[in-house]
Chains A and B, each alone.
Chain A
């Protein structure tokens, strides 16, 4: 590991088994939070996302989502033009006009998110005030919320955090309930939600709800008798607001792989006082099945080295899964942001002799990557093909956010996402 070029001299802090977290600043090759709209609009089925931004924002979303041919997408952009820049009061009138036109076209929309962007934040267009104002007018037709998905404030999945946080803010404070409830926080594919729901039911935890809900009409239960589990590692602000309402976080690793899923479920089982025998009875069959299915991909992955470029904050839990359950050697974990509390259980499971880099200077990170020569690199689409043409196998990171990867039944699918490019490289080289 002495080939590390250009890492910041002073390691900022150490976690787990003395793993250094370096902080790096420079050009960042990441998405902004607006990108979250691409999966959020499918999850919350009666919601519409209206970005208030520039043509760049509109172009970003359609470039990211445009391969799909939509009959009618549930997102759009209100493009600010030079007339709006002349005076802010004017911009509010314009926004009202656009929102009303949109709701006339789509009367089926029950929840509208006004999504802030870099331009709207820089000119300080107050979208939360606009949302309040429009809410009064549309009181029986549509809920109107706002959050920021701007690049200056949010990186990729943080857009989901901001969106979910706005939903919590909009949920009225609730009195403590008599019955204890479990809340699963973070956007999960429907099939994964159903699997977790079944497991919790079998364990005897019946009062379980998922956040965000599939429909704007579902009221989420959050009170001082709620305990919550994070399903995603990028929900800092959402978690903070949930705790403001008295709910308690169950500390656990994230439910990736067999080990992560078991530990995550166990956190809930312990809190509900479910005995070990019961827990084993419910999980063991699933653990065995997942392990068997995972075994298929181990030959492709074992002893292969891997590096992560920062993207979604999923990097640390994924590196843990790949090192402990797939036998991979992790060289560098780049991540846009490290939330030390939410990740504390993960740090203990990470192998020694790795480095975590929070933030990015993409040119320097590429230099390190070229000098490390990992067997596979997890990176964004802007870097993937250029690295492939240099002979470095890549796994494009966005797919990890768009695929069902949580839980037992998906553990093998998750491994397969990494095995596939390696197998393909072998296949095409032969």
Chain B
């Protein structure tokens, strides 16, 4: 059993629902107890969908368990087929139905419906949402795309080349965007228009807004663009193995990654990207270069989310905005290796966990200037009083905005720049607070004034007493126990005058100063911290 306050991912059948809801004429019959229909409101409320998800639930109750739940499932399949007339169907079980073992696949096959019926095996007690989505997309593709095992991938590739017309453009599919995917709606618009501007034809975007017929057309493109590996890597690999379609590996988040993506795509499409790249107005790049952004240099940032967004965000933060990445991690265990590799670039150790409490402990320990994370990191950052921006799912309704807000491509880079800088205190205000700390309105304890909160509102978040657990109020169990058993307060380490001096340092760097000074004291065998120790430590570590 795992104690969970918040979960980064839903169960795997939510992943399957995301695929079904993405598509236009596919239906999902889910064997599930009464109450599991809560998942509908993820789509209708968070995603603000105008239609109900194409999902029929058996919604069995306790009294049904004594009877024939298998019959209930078959009846649900039949009536869903009659009512919705889908072109294909997927069937599966939720966590509770998995325990009663009715075998939805076998039961649905026995009904011999005149459409493809694809059975899903999603182990709810081991796997999670993204895995479920990836697996579902793969099984739908395998189930719908006709292929001949006697023809090799290379032969398929040669057939595509032979059938190509003289003036035919190079073509691709865009794979991975789904319903409830973070900014997927706008990412595909951005990437699709980028590809088309390069002279590449986009044949199918899937699963988002794809029909069953579209899926069957997937092998006709020259290559695949994999936008979201968490969802589409399995499918892309299979398409490559079966039909010889190569796929892109670069995730076009940030200016540099977008340029690299353009190069990669150009190589696959056999075109010259130089003219296209020259024509781009890379605003985010200039904004970061402009002197107003100088104060952003080496701001300490902690990054957490799904693997692809984390890897991309770290690169943008470090190479394009000039932040210092002090920690990064992911809840996507399937991509732990990639994240560990990325972490090496910043000389930090990757945090691979789906335990919210572990992430919280890490943020408290690092006291970063900015957290880039998910909805959950917003909770953590709020509790610790650290600025935060959202870069990855899980997200709530405000991150499915009405306005155009891609993360990918050149416009995505502009959006990232604005979003990440916004929560930070602006340059002049930061200087003034460093110089004059007793202003009655613009207090060092206050949130940035451009965010429109008064000092009083934030008072409780940045408590004036400079106690160590005020800055990092989350203490690990071991720390709690150590304090109880040793009977000493960590604050005693500090001389009163030194403590006061520390209080003059603005809150957004105070945590780091405290940590550095204490570390310095331990390393130099100093048992009592004075003002001198504080400045010795400052000289030792730099700002």
Interface residues of A, Cβ cutoff 8 Å to B: 27-35, 52, 54-56, 58-60, 62-64, 66-67, 69-73, 76-82, 84-85, 91, 94-95, 97-98, 101-102, 104-105, 118-119, 121-123, 150-153, 155, 363, 380-386, 389
B375 contacts the other chain (Cβ, under 8 Å)? yes
CA distance A389 to B76 in the complex (A): 26
Q: Per DSSP, are chain A's interface residues mostly helix, strand or loop, or mixed?
A: helix
**Is B375 in contact with A66, judged by CB distance below 8 angstroms?**
yes
Asked whether any CB of chain A lies closer than 8 Å to the CB of B163, the reply is no
Q: Tell me whether B36 is interfacial, beta carbon within 8 Å.
A: yes
Q: A133 to nearest B CB, angstroms? A: 15
- Whole-angstrom CA separation of A389 from B48 in the bound complex: 11
Nearest Cβ on chain A to B478's Cβ, whole angstroms: 11
Which residue of chain B is the closest to A117 with respect to CB atoms? B96
Interface footprint category on B: 35 or more
Given the known interface contacts A98-B1, A98-B3, the answer about A69 and B382 at a Cβ–Cβ threshold of 8 Å is: yes
With A62-B6, A118-B35 known as contacts, the answer to whether A27 contacts B59 (CB < 8 A) is yes
Closest to B398 in A: A67
Given contacts A67-B397, A70-B379, contact A55 B61 (CB under 8 A): no
Q: Give chain A nearest CB distance to B294 CB in angstroms.
A: 32
Residue in A closest to B384 when the chains form the complex, CB atoms: A71
B168 within 8 A of A: no
**Is B40 a contact partner of A56 (Cβ separation < 8 A)?**
no
B345 at the interface (CB under 8 A from A): no
> Is B51 among interface residues, defined by CB-CB distance under 8 A?
yes
Once bound together, how far apart are the Cα atoms of A175 and B308, in whole Å?
A: 65
- CA A38 – CA B383 in complex, angstroms? 20
Chain B residues in 8 Å Cβ range of A82: 123, 125-126
**A55 and B95 contacting across the interface, CB-CB below 8 Å:** yes
Interface hits, B498-518 → A, CB 8 Å? none
B361 to chain A, nearest CB (A): 11
- Point out the residues of chain A lying under 8 angstroms from B49, CB to CB: 385-386
Taken together as a complex, chains A and B put the C-alpha atoms of A85 and B45 apart, in Å, by 34
A29 to B50, CA, bound (A): 17
B161 on the interface (CB 8 Å rule)?
Answer: no
Shortest beta-carbon distance from B89 to chain A in Å: 16
A60 to B39, CA, bound (A): 7
Q: A386 to B52, Cβ gap below 8 A?
A: yes
- List the B side residues contacting A76 at CB < 8 Å: 3-5
CB of B2 within 8 A of chain A?
yes
Task: Determine if B3 and A153 form an interchain contact, defined as CB atoms under 8 angstroms apart.
Answer: no
Identity of the chain A residue whose Cβ is nearest the Cβ of B60 in the assembled complex: A152
Contact A383 B96 (CB under 8 A): no
5 A-B pairs in the complex with CB atoms less than 8 angstroms apart: A54-B125, A55-B9, A59-B10, A62-B6, A380-B41
Assuming A27-B58, A151-B61, what are 11 further A-B pairs, CB within 8 angstroms? Answer: A31-B35, A60-B36, A66-B396, A72-B383, A91-B1, A150-B33, A151-B96, A155-B35, A382-B41, A383-B44, A385-B44
> Known: A382-B44, A382-B52. Is A63-B38 also a contact (CB below 8 A)?
yes
Q: Is the CB of B34 within 8 A of A80?
A: no
Contacts of A52 in B (CB 8 A): 1
Give which listed residue, A58, A67, A122, contacts B7 with CB less than 8 A.
A58
Tell which of A32, A59, A60, A76 has the most Cβ of chain B within 10 Å: A59
Chain A: CB-nearest residue to B56? A27
B1 to A94, Cβ gap below 8 A? yes
Contact B51 A389 (CB under 8 A): yes
A363 touches B83 (CB 8 A): yes
Determine if B124 and A54 form an interchain contact, defined as CB atoms under 8 angstroms apart.
yes
Contacts of B57 in A (CB 8 A): 27
**B348 contacts which chain A residues (CB < 8 A)?**
none
A77 surroundings in chain B (CB, below 8 A)? 3-4, 7
Query: Of A31, A56, A155, A382, which is within 8 A of B95 by CB?
Result: A56
Of the candidates A28, A62, A385, A386, the one whose C-beta lies within 8 Å of that of B37 is A28
